[in-house]
Amino acid sequence: MIEIPESAIISRQAAGVLTGRRIAEVIPATSPHKFTWYNGDPAGYPEVLEGRSIETVDGHGAFIDLVMDKDTHLLISDGTIMRYGQAGELHPCIGRREFFGVYGSDVWGNLCFPERI
């Protein structure tokens, strides 16, 4: 479980990198997993998240909350690995540049940012 001090530190680090960024592309989960819970159909996530701007990142207990415009939130919790690839760095699996990957035993997906802000 993410502890409260961890969520505070991780959210501060993520806010420094992601605040003000616009999500250009969402690549939802690509393989089925029997121990995963989604809010709605993950195939619809690109429609909900693409074009959203990240306003801030907050830590709430065991959660990291990516707060976006239009009252949209992406909560990340325990068992999930967040990885940010800087401009010019290729994603190891999808070959995209500048990405924010969310991976874990129960989730897999990527948010891709434009190479220029």
- Per-residue confidence (pLDDT) for residue 109, from 0 to 100: 60
* Main-chain dihedrals φ then ψ at residue 3, nearest 5 degrees: -85, 160
Q: What is the pLDDT of residue 115?
A: 45
Nearest to 116, CA basis, from 93, 92, 94, 97 = 97
Q: What pLDDT score was predicted for residue 106?
A: 46
pLDDT of residue 116: 41
pLDDT tens-digit profile, the chain (117 residues): 788 999 999 999 999 988 998 888 887 776 666 666 677 888 888 898 899 999 999 999 988 999 999 999 988 887 777 777 776 666 666 666 556 666 554 445 666 665 444
pLDDT attached to residue 94? 62
Using CA atoms, how far residue 61 sits from 13, 38, 49, in Å, is 16, 20, 24
What pLDDT is stored for residue 9 in this prediction?
93
Cα–Cα dist 67/84, whole Å = 17
